[in-house]
Amino acid sequence: IHEDNYIITSGALTVGGELEATSLDINGSADISGNLDVGGILHITKANATAVLEIQGGLTTITAVDQEHGRLDFGANDGSVTGGIASSIRCVSEYDNGAHAGITFWTGQQSRSGGYLAKAMHIKNDLNVDIYGGLHINNSNKISTAGELEGGSLDINGAADIAGALVVSAGALSITGDG
């Protein structure tokens, strides 16, 4: 069968324009070389097994730190969101040979200097976490910051090593112990 817009040969359908249908059921692989625009919810299911959404990309040879392997952008219809992307999760190289990768989280802010999106958090391959704004959590569960660490209460069950001045205000310092 040969028409102007489609050809059927050897069990394959080749369409030269748009294919419109109320449903599409593919029992096997689907190879889409262009963009896939899903106007509703993209629902991925797999019975009795783990359902996987894999995003694979990036350069075939990594040559620099922070090159992206894959990215998940969260778009917004609000016109005040610059570029239409409100936030992003990215898989990035951490060595210039691509041997290690981490995950970065990006947030959007309209009034931010230097661009709408900025890196907010980086989970590194060695399990260290950097939260931009000055907080670092290493893989030994130690928290460090160049600024102030503030809380409503502080409970230390162990030794405290204070390298600077200890200032107690708005109350008394009480020390209790066995000896």
Judge whether 100 and 94 are in contact, CB under 8 Å. Answer: yes
| Beta strand pairing call for 85-93 and 68-75 | antiparallel
Interacting residues of 122 by C-beta distance below 8 A, sequence separation 6+:
102, 103, 104, 105, 129, 130, 132
pLDDT tops 90 at residue 112: no
pLDDT at 122: 95
Q: Which is more confident, 37 or 172? A: 37
Judge whether 67 and 54 are in contact, CB under 8 Å. Answer: no
Q: What residues pair up with 93 in beta bridges, in sequence order?
A: 101
pLDDT bucket at 1, cuts 50 / 70 / 90: very low
pLDDT tens across 34-80, in order? 888 888 888 888 889 998 888 888 888 889 999 999 999 998 888 88
| Beta strand pairing call for 68-75 and 12-15 | unpaired
DSSP characters over 93-156? ESSTTS--EEEEEEEE-TT-TT-SEEEEEEE-TTS-EEETTTEEE-TTS-EEESS----S----
Task: Using a pLDDT cut of 70, give the percent of the chain over it.
Answer: 95
